Chain A
Amino acid sequence: MATTAPYPESQGQALVERPRWGRRLLLTSTIVAFMAFLAWSVAVRQALLFVVGVGMGSVLAGARFGFTTAWRNFIEQRDPSGVLAQLLLLALAAIICIPLLAAYPVALRAALGPPSISLLLGAFVFGACMQIADGCGSGTLYKAGLGIPLNTVVLPLFAVGSFLGSATLEQWLALGAMPPYGLVTNLGAPAALSLTLIGLALLAVWAVRSADVAARLLNRKLLVGAVLLALLAVLNLVIAGQPWGVVYGFGLWAAKLATATGLFDPAANAFWSEPANATTLQQSLFLDVTSITNIGILAGALWIAVGKRRPAKKSMTKTQWIVVIVAGFLLGYSSRLAFGCNIGAMVSGISTGSLHGWIWVVMAFLGSLLGLRIRRRFAL
């Protein structure tokens, strides 16, 4: 089966610009109209979050800010520029989010996931699969928005996996879990921020010391992207009261379809029968915080894609597609076991002082080492 494959996240390697102002104007008008619809018919909060999502999608796609490729470049080429940009993003977000969480303990909530067996396993599998499927949570979203065939195919599978992961979460948690540990609530903001920044600084030192002597340490485009994404992540917290997330929305979309078609009874499921999730399942997706930023990311990436030339295509074999499809499903499933992806667990977890975010990073990085071997094995 010969079909199109994705172009890799080429950090710093800009695609040839071919602005199409007519189409961009039309798309901009559509985005503004949808925002107005949300403000009028749903909630002003949702309209604001949609705008934040559009900003996130534009920055992710415009700067080609890929978490997956950054890790791959660091592991395979000892190029730390992408990893250092991610650390800057985490540090900036933490510097603002942690004091805010301490100052507004009622209105704002951290991304607290429980350290657990499911977290260890889920993050490891997620780290492996994001290399095979060439995209993490945000990466799959913005690349689908850009029109990259691989990620466009992976996205629905990601959603199905995320839904099934949430539906079986209770069984995974029964294997062993500790209560979530938040640095802000347990240690206070000064200690939480200090520990977070020290941890990030140590990672930065490790990345620089591991770098190839010829490698460029800093990539201006990625650094600008990191600053903008940090500010947008803070805005997400300030507006929604909860940090940026991606995979809950995917699972919700598939859960709605499964419920509507009679394949799934949410009342008989531990996760989806919980009042908060049951309410979300009955409400419009436009009221769900995570869904609305996901839609915004897709729209923002599409806005960027309108001004870019399509990349060169290459063929993928049937075997390669099967491997990628399985990885896409597991990507979604494991992200629920890990209590988030690179956004919900890593960016939001670490920047809001959650211990689970740090555990996620270690396990996902180890998983990426395996994923890259599988990627090479199948010449992906």
Chain B
Amino acid sequence: MAKPLLTIVFWIALIAFFAWDWAHSSTVDARHEPPAVALSSGQAPTGAHCASTY
């Protein structure tokens, strides 16, 4: 598949953005990892959602 320039720029920009974010965000606290599966955790979900007003 011959990728046009726009697609290449898009993916490079996206990956660069994620890398920048990873480098500049708070360090992930592996000791307080969220449960792998929420259903069986008994913990309330903490993530934000489009429907939330907060």
Contact = CB atoms under 8 A, between A and B. Distances in A.
Nearest to B47: A289
Contacts of A112: 51
A339 B54 CA distance: 11
Task: Please classify the interface of chain A as helix (H, G, I), strand (E, B), loop, or mixed, using the class held by over half of its residues.
Answer: helix
Contacts of B40: 107
Interface in A94-120: 100, 104, 106-109, 111-114
Contacts of A302: 11
Contact of A42 (B1, B28, B47): B28
Interface in B1-54: 1-4, 6-7, 10-11, 14, 17-18, 21-22, 24-26, 28, 30, 33-54
B3 A241 contact: no
Contacts of A221: none
Contacts of A305: 1
Interface string A270-295: 01001011001011111111100001
A245 B49 contact: yes
A131 interface: no
B41 A107 contact: yes
A263 interface: no
Interface of A: 4, 18, 20, 23, 41-45, 48, 100, 104, 106-109, 111-114, 144, 147, 149, 152-153, 155, 169, 173, 177, 180, 238-243, 245-248, 252-253, 256-257, 260, 271, 274, 276-277, 280, 282-290, 295, 298, 302, 305-306, 308-310, 335-336, 339-341, 343-345, 348-349, 354, 356
27 contacts: A4-B4, A18-B1, A41-B30, A107-B38, A107-B44, A107-B45, A108-B38, A108-B45, A147-B1, A147-B4, A152-B6, A152-B7, A155-B10, A180-B51, A245-B49, A247-B50, A282-B25, A286-B22, A290-B47, A309-B1, A335-B50, A339-B53, A340-B49, A343-B50, A344-B49, A345-B51, A348-B50
